[in-house]
Structure 1
Amino acid sequence: MRLRKKWWARPEMEQSPLTVINPQEYKGKWKEEFKNENPIYLELGCGRGTFLCEHAKQNSNINYIGIDLKDEVLIYALRKLIQEELTNARIIPTNITNISEMFDENEVSRIYINFCNPWPKDRHNKRRLTHTRFLNQYKQFLKPESEIWFKTDDKDLFEDSQVYFKENGFNIEYITYDLHNSDFQENIVTEYESKFTSLGMKTMFLLAKLTVVSE
């Protein structure tokens, strides 16, 4: 469903100190922004922010950054953070394509990718957030032994992603084709996940750890 443009969303976001409009200017300076030395976790495609907000509430000793292209959904993520008075999270309204320009070497400790666009056509595969094209960018700023947590309901994307991770220096530490009936205990349900689980959808999940650092 196409989102209706909310012209008021960007001005409202720009007024909040929790919104980072020019993330390239913060490269290598994120600890200064958060005013602490805590680990930084990214959520790529954070949508309305339920997942981001819940993580930030449960882990005050971790800094969270949610990135999404759509102001129309990101404004609700911001409002959730403000309502919960969370200071350990930021939002970035931008395209993820050039994410390596936003973070410096060893600046990020974990990435969450939840239900990203599967881009099923072969000519579009490189747009997948788990594709080699993006993994090589993540490796430029992930710390050694950092993790990527990946959830999807698309089997082709899930199986192709396993190949991408293995070919790019990541070891798959945990994998399940049915997360909600698995023994994994640390899942936080996204809005999308909650809706489609009620319709019988199975969530696939893997945890990949970076074992090789690119030069």
Structure 2
Amino acid sequence: MRVRKKPWAAQYIKDHADLIVTEPEKQLGHWQERFPSVQPLQIEIGIGKGQFIVEMARQHSDINFLGIEIQESVIATALRQLVESGLTNVQLVETDGANVDTLFAAQEVDQLFLNFSDPWPKTRHAKRRLTSPNFLTHYQTVLKQDGRIQFKTDNRGLFEYSLTSFNNFGLVFDEVWLDLHNSDGNEGNVQTEYEEKFSKKGPIYELIAHFDQTK
């Protein structure tokens, strides 16, 4: 999806360097220093306009959140929302979230959110899907032993692929919802902007899983 460039974005990001990281490799193993206090660390890869990560931080003041987004104009919009919120337990990271194992130390992350990731529908692009085995290897490195992955999508093909990918990788499923908004799993569900818009057109799928550390 092509995003219209926002001429104000670059300067706005510079003006709020206390809330956004543009050189994340320098934070490897030291992310907690960006927050007022040391708390469980949860990250979202691909934050859109930031509605999910900001609301999660608002509802869970006892958790530190990091939102990763590569597109400058998109993350600048999320940053503006964060500035307006006044929250201190969420930081944004302008980078490609594909290689999280270069951004975080081993077992530095408590939970990882993948919300409405690009489905990359063509078979030849399967390796680019954020739930493919090569990405799962990265997640396993940075997640703590009891860390979980929470994945939501409206794309049935991507959901079925992800179920198979997680299962073949040996993950343990904690929850699987084929229609999240009409299930018990919807209690406490924080929606993304995309989710609010497209849930009227069909079901939202969700799975929550963790790596089997006994293997």
- TM-score over 0.5 for the alignment? yes
User: Cα offset for 1:10?
Assistant: 1.9
Q: In structure 1, give the amino acid aligned to 2:30.
A: K
Residue type at the aligned position of 2:112: I
Asked if structure 2 preserves the Cα contact closer than 8 Å seen for 1:150 and 1:206, the reply is yes
1:189 aligned partner: 191
CA distance in 1, matches of 2:164, 2:135: 14
Structure with the higher fraction of residues in helix conformation: 2
Aligned to 1:132: 133
After TM superposition, list the pairs within 5 Å mapping 1:76-115 onto structure 2: 76-115=77-116
Aligned residues: 213
RMSD: 1.4
Return 5+ residue gaps in structure 1 as ranges.
none
Deviation at 1:15, TM superposition (A): 2.0
1:122–1:178 CA distance, 2 compared to 1 (3 A): same
Deviates more, 1:16-25 or 1:4-13: 4-13
Which deviations, in whole Å up to 9, do the C-alpha atoms of 1:164-208 show, x marking residues without a partner?
11222311111111000011123111110111123x221001111
Query: Do residues 202 (structure 1) and 209 (structure 2) align?
Result: no
Give the distance between the partners of 1:122 and 1:179, measured in 2 at CA: 27
Asked if the contact 1:139–1:213 (Cα under 8 Å) also holds between the matched residues in 2, the reply is no
After TM superposition, the structure 1 stretch with the greater mean CA deviation from structure 2, 28-37 or 64-73, is: 28-37
| Aligned twin of 2:37 | 36
8 Å contact 1:169–1:212 — kept in the other structure?
Answer: no
1:46–1:206: structure 2 CA closer, same or farther, 3 Å change rule? same
Q: Deviations over 1:5-31 (max 9, x none)?
A: 123212211221100011111010012
Does residue 9 in structure 1 map to residue 9 in structure 2? yes
Deviations 1:18-75 (A, max 9, x none): 0001111101001222242201100110010000110000111100000111111111
Which secondary structure does the structure 2 equivalent of 1:86 belong to?
coil
Q: Normalising by structure 1, report the TM-score.
A: 0.94
TM-fit CA distance, 1:124? 0.4
Trace 1:4-83 onto structure 2 (pairs within 5 A): 4-16=4-16, 17-83=18-84
TM-score (norm 2): 0.94
2: CA distance, partners of 1:19 / 1:38: 18
Tell me if the contact between 1:3 and 1:72 (Cα under 8 Å) persists in the aligned partners.
Answer: yes
Q: Identity of counterpart residues, as a percentage?
A: 40
User: Aligned partners of 1:179, 1:14: CA distance in 2, in Å?
Assistant: 38
Aligned 8 A contact 1:14 1:21 in 2: no
Q: Distance in 2 between matches of 1:37 and 1:128?
A: 32
1: CA distance, partners of 2:38 / 2:3: 37
Contact 1:169 1:213 in 2 (8 A): no
Q: Against the structure 1 CA distance between its residues 213 and 98, is the aligned structure 2 distance closer, same or farther, given a 3 Å change threshold?
A: farther
